Amino acid sequence: MNKRKSIRCSLFVKMKKNICNYILLGSVAAPFSIPALAQENPAPTPSREFKESTRPGKYGWETEVNSGYVGGTSARFLGTQMGNSDAFNIKVKAGARIPLNDDWFLKLGLDSDNYFLGSVAGEPLPDAIHTLSLDTGVGYHWNDRWTFTVMLAPSLYRFDDVNGSDFGISGGIIATFKQRPSLTWTFGMDVSPDGDVPVFPILGVRWLINEKYTLDLGVPKTRLSYRLDPNWTVYGGVDLVGTTFRASKDLGTKIGLPQYNNALGNYHDVRLGVGTSYEFRRGFRVEVDTGWSVYRQINYQRINQSIDFKPAPYVRLGLGARF
Helices (H), the chain: 2-28, 34-38, 46-51
Reported as type and span, the H/E element at residue 305 is strand 305-309
pLDDT at 77 over 70: yes
Q: Distance (Å, rounded) from C-alpha 212 to C-alpha 201?
A: 31
Enumerate helices (H) and strands (E) in the chain, giving the number of each: 3, 15
Q: What is the mean pLDDT of residues 125-134?
A: 96
pLDDT-wise least confident of 12-16, 123-127, 148-152, 244-248: 12-16
Per-residue pLDDT tens for 199-240? 989 999 999 999 999 999 987 889 999 999 999 999 999 999
Q: What is the mean pLDDT of residues 83-103?
A: 94
Q: Distance (Å, rounded) from C-alpha 135 to C-alpha 110?
A: 6
Amino acid at 6: S
Please report, rounded to a whole number, the percentage of residues in the chain having pLDDT higher than 90. 72
Q: Distance (Å, rounded) from C-alpha 32 to C-alpha 65?
A: 15
Q: What is the pTM of this model?
A: 0.84
Q: How many CA atoms lie within 13 A of 271 on its CB side?
A: 25
CA-nearest of 172, 222, 240 to 202 is 172
Q: What is the mean pLDDT of residues 103-130?
A: 95
Per-residue pLDDT tens for 173-204? 999 999 999 999 999 999 999 988 889 899 99
Pair 241, 221: CB distance under 8 Å: no
Burial readout 283-320 (b: 16 or more C-beta within 10 A, e: otherwise): eebebebebebebbbbbbbeeebbbbbeebebbbebeb
Per-residue pLDDT tens for 242-267? 999 999 999 999 999 999 999 999 99
Q: What does the pLDDT read at residue 200?
A: 86
Per-residue pLDDT tens for 25-54? 444 444 444 444 444 434 334 433 333 334
Amino acid at 144: D
Q: Distance (Å, rounded) from C-alpha 247 to C-alpha 162?
A: 11
Let me know how long the chain is: 323
Query: Would you place residue 57 in the very low, low, confident or very high pLDDT band (cuts 50, 70, 90)?
Result: low
Per-residue pLDDT tens for 263-310? 999 999 999 999 999 998 888 999 999 999 999 999 999 999 999 999
Q: What does the pLDDT read at residue 303?
A: 94
Q: What is the mean pLDDT of residues 120-139?
A: 95
Which is more confidently placed, 108 or 57? Answer: 108
Mean of the per-residue pLDDT values of the chain: 85
DSSP 8-state secondary structure symbol assigned to residue 165: G
Burial class (CB in 10 A: 0-12, 13-18, 19+), 19: exposed
- Kindly compute the dihedral angle of the four CA atoms of residues 318, 171, 24, 313, in this order, to the nearest 10 degrees: -10
CA distances from 304 to 24, 264, 300 (A): 16, 11, 6
Which is more confidently placed, 159 or 198? Answer: 159
Pair 112, 95: CB distance under 8 Å: no
CA distances from 95 to 188, 200, 220, 321 (A): 21, 24, 17, 11
Q: Does 2.40.30 match the CATH number of domain 2-322?
A: no
